[in-house]
Homo-oligomer: A and B are copies of this chain.
Amino acid sequence: MVLQINFKSGLPVYLQIVEQVKAAAASGALQPGEALPSIRPVAEDLRVNRNTVAKAYAELESLGVIETLPGKGCFLKENHSPLKKEVRRKMLVEEIDQAIVMAHHLQVPDPEFLVMIRERLQAFGDKRKANEDRQE
């Protein structure tokens, strides 16, 4: 579980942490029930205030992605993603639209755009597989 912050991206640091934990959970890099690194080392690692990491974890808990057992630590929930299919679909559509707008601004034609997407899906699939092998 390696986190990395881009201080120049404009996205609030605590949200960058939230997004990365969600992504790690989605990609299988973080397994259900697995413990997240605790706040203090993460803060030191990222050169960030402990409050900021705490805020990210609190946000993740309120989203239902992790659960905090006081005195034990934070763990990825066994069965997260409590959102209805329609809502999830809408969230995804927004991300897709953003990529399409960028493709349009960069004048990438649709067929080439689709090829790029397949390439990236392939790359992610390989990475996920490698993670699973590592865990066995």
Contact = CB atoms under 8 A, between A and B. Distances in A.
- Determine which residue in A2, A19, A23 has the highest number of CB atoms from chain B within 10 A of its CB, and name it: A23
Interface in A55-110: 81, 83, 88-89, 91-108, 110
A20 B2 CA distance: 30
Interface residues on A, range: 35 or more
Contacts of A2: 101, 104
Given A9-B98, A101-B23, A93 B120 contact: yes
A22 interface: yes
A101 to B, nearest CB: 4
Given A81-B107, A106-B23, A116-B89, A98 B98 contact: yes
